[in-house]
Structure 1
Amino acid sequence: MKKFLVLILSVLIAVSMFVGCGKSKSTSSTSEIFDSSKTYTGKFVNGKLTKPFHLKVVTPTDFNEFIIADKQGFFKEVGIIPEYTGVLPANVSLAQSVIKGDNDLFASGHVTTIASARKAGAKLKIVLHSMVDSPDFDKTHMTWFVRNDGKINSAKDLVEKKIAMSSKGSCAELLNAEFLRQNGVNVKNTQVIVMNDQQQEQALKQGNIDAAILHPPYNMKTKNDGGFKILTTSYKIGEAAGDGAVGGLAIRAFSEDFIKKYPDVVKAYIVADLKAQQYINKNYQQSLKIAADYLKMDVKDMAGNIYPDQKWIKPEQIEFWVKTAEKNKLTNFEVPGQIKAEDLYTNDLNPYYTGELK
């Protein structure tokens, strides 16, 4: 009996070890990603890193310059190897993942996103601009769609109606509030529904929402599918607020801790990202095809972005977003002057701004 019990115990231990190994293999991709930061000693010399750095970033799900920087080899040129961590879980914000270290780059969002994150204690810092808005539909930041057969023809018709947006605290919430304010409607007299861009077209078609605010490429797909009309665009809203292009300004950021530890990596990232931005502006149709192939989408349904002709952040662009958020009393901007534009960004690691590169 004693030998039998020993045998059973040995089998149970072996099984538990096997199960434990199985669990470790099935964990999220983040745990399996190579972390070069643990041993990194590279430097930024002559526009590139002397040693490759594995940069952790959320897997792209829409058009952006990150896809182009990767697929066209701009990251490779400067010594950056992107490590995709997958799509963020629904209950985890990008700011949280960057502060925690699950991701290195804050590769999505706008000025107000960073301001709100900092207000909540997440010390993120903008290091580079990204896209700007355009009056051309295939390059527009956001589009407001309503049904063709509905009775919504203006902002005033949205009173007591359901307006879908991908998230609160960023571009859609800010520009929607500004659109309504410009037309004499208080956003509190509407119902905001948080819903992924991918789900909004079907929800609008079924009547579950009354208006959809869509980013590219989903705005292009919705337009092509038909049955909807455009109420307004982010460019028109920004233009009425004082700057149509800057109304679509996106940003790229890192945690202050990452910036302090790896300033050379930040410099290299800026160089590669700017090359990708310039490539897109000069090769727009080709860039759409590259992104469509990566995202496994039909290129006819693909829409993208354009980028400003500049190499570093302009203070007035950041100020535009802060002032517009204050004007609409967006969360964290209720008190004018409490959030200062100069605290949100830095050009100190931009090698073109400092003169390290020409």
Structure 2
Amino acid sequence: MPTLTATSRRQFLTLLGISAAAVSCGRATAGDAAGSARTKTLRYQGAAGQVTLPELAEDLGFLGDVTLRWIGNTISGPQDIQSAATGQTDFGGAFNGAVVKLAASKAPIKAVVSYYGSDRHAYSGYYVLDDSPIRSARDLIGRKVGMNTLGAHAEAMLTIYLQRNGLSPADIDKVEPLVVPPVNTEQSLRRRQIDVAVLGGILRDRALATGGIRPLFTDHQLLGAFSAGTYVMTDRFIERNPDTARTFVTAVARAIEWARTTPREEVVARMTEIVNKRGRNEDTATLKYWRSYGVAETAGRITDEQFQLWIDWLGERGDIARGRIRASDLYTNEFNAYGKGSGS
């Protein structure tokens, strides 16, 4: 696999927020504000017009006496988990490769439950306009690919696709990933400001309903069904708030299974009600396209395999030292009580 250029490596590190100062801050402050008093309130970042699993769990009553306190919306997974690592929030979620990268910097975090993934309903697709000349991986040379953030899920899948289709490291460097806000990605493609748009979830389904685009490939085609991202908490927060951590993780696990087993129309209606109730002036029109959170394992339980893929990938790219990270050290299922006699 190719190594990163100096420029892309700097971008990757910057986006993951793993400067020595940030990690040091994380060790000093993570959990101080919320953990010292054995908190029952969890600070978090949300997503505009969407309902996260913790938000769904709270609305369903699964959090019990634990409450969520929204402090704003995240701009990306790497940003969200850095906020958790530095104590600005009490949990954050990101692509598992970003979690590996942050953990490799010795940030004091632990993955506690999966929250999104890829299946036949929930996947990220790489879309071009119907009249685009792009038909293969080689056609992407010199083209612009719009995605939500660099150094995370979307860029990883793009690189894997290009490698599997025989592009050399030099050719891969000629494919240009660009950051485009998710809500603007479809529009940027239709205006031909980018050549490929990475679209997922309800934004993807809305774009497909409009028509005029076709998929080049999807992450589900590349890797099959898999859990792609996890929520993390700091070691300090978990140590000081084990009961709150258990309540949170089990509630998210229950919400995963509720969404998996409840008729889609009922899930969408519940999500729409949640967004309307929180009064943030958000558009609920796209919620009707929701199909799945895409979590592969029952109740969001985490496995070594979910991290090992990215440990190997990052090691081959030179982003982390080989043998420095063990998958089993990155996560715990200790707080997931779903199906264990409580919380199910």
Render the CA deviation track for 1:123-151: whole Å, top value 9, x for unaligned. Answer: 2110112233112xxx2221111011110
SS of aligned partner of 1:232: strand
Q: CA deviation at 1:203?
A: 1.1
Equivalence for 2:3: none
Q: Secondary structure at the match of 1:101?
A: coil
* Aligned position for 1:26: none
Q: Of 41, 46, 50, which aligns to 1:54? A: 41
Q: Which runs of 5+ in 1 are unaligned?
A: 1-34, 42-52, 239-243
Whether the 8 Å contact between 1:347 and 1:353 is mirrored in structure 2 is: no
TM, length-normalised to structure 1: 0.75
Q: How far off its partner does 1:69 sit?
A: 0.8
Which residue of structure 1 aligns with residue 165 of structure 2? 183
Could you tell me how far apart the structure 2 residues matched to 1:276 and 1:352 are? 10
Separation of aligned partners in 1, 2:164 and 2:263: 33
Question: In 1, Cα distance between the equivalents of 2:308 and 2:341?
Answer: 24
Counterpart residue type for residue 38 of structure 2: Y
Counterpart AA for 2:233: F
Q: How far did 1:303 drift?
A: 4.5
1:205 and 2:185 are equivalent in the alignment: no
Partner of 1:123: 108
After TM superposition, the runs of 4+ consecutive aligned structure 1 residues lying more than 6 A away are 353-358
Q: In 2, are the aligned partners of 1:58 and 1:87 still within 8 Å (CA)?
A: yes
Q: The residue matched to 2:118 in structure 1 has which SS? A: coil
Structure 1 match to 2:268: 288
Q: Which amino acid letter does the alignment assign opposite residue 169 of structure 1?
A: G
What CA distance in whole angstroms lies between the structure 2 residues aligned with 1:112 and 1:310?
21
1:259–1:37 CA distance, 2 compared to 1 (3 A): closer
1:215 Cα deviation from its structure 2 partner: 2.1
Q: Structure 1 CA distance, aligned partners of 2:338 and 2:55?
A: 23
- Of 19, 25, 40, the match for 2:38: 40
Q: Which amino acid aligns with 2:196?
A: A
- Deviations along 1:217-238, one digit per CA (max 9) or x if unpaired, are 2111111122211111110011
**Structure with the larger strand share:** 2
Paired position in structure 2 for 1:24: none
Relative to structure 1, is the Cα distance of residues 284 and 233 closer, same or farther in structure 2, using a 3 angstrom cutoff? farther
1:215 maps to 200
1:173 equivalent among 149, 155, 159: 155
Partner of 2:235: 256
Q: Percent identity?
A: 22
1:27-58 C-alpha deviation (Å, 9 max, x unpaired) = xxxxxxxx7645337xxxxxxxxxxx111111
Question: Relative CO higher for 1 or 2, CA cutoff 8 Å, sep ≥ 6?
Answer: 2
Give the secondary structure class of the aligned counterpart of 1:189: coil
What does residue 237 of structure 1 align with?
Answer: 222
Cα deviation for residue 353 of structure 1 reads 9.2
Q: Which residue matches 1:158?
A: 140
Whole-angstrom CA distance in 1 between matches of 2:84 and 2:69: 14
1:249 is paired with a residue whose SS is: strand
Q: Which runs of 5+ in 2 are unaligned?
A: 1-32, 276-281
TM-score normalised to structure 2 length: 0.78
- The alpha-carbon deviation at position 159 of structure 1 amounts to 0.9
Q: Secondary structure at the match of 1:254?
A: strand
Inter-partner Cα distance in structure 1 for 2:330 and 2:193? 38
1:267 and 2:246 correspond: yes
Which of 178, 192, 198 pairs up with 1:193? 178
Cα offset, 1:355, TM superposition = 7.8
Distance 1:212 1:93, change over 3 A: same
Q: Which amino acid aligns with 2:296?
A: P
Aligned residues: 297
Give 2:19's aligned residue: none
2:334 equivalent to 1:348: yes
Go from structure 1 to structure 2 and tell me whether the alpha carbon gap of 1:323 and 1:284 turns closer, same or farther (over 3 Å shift). farther
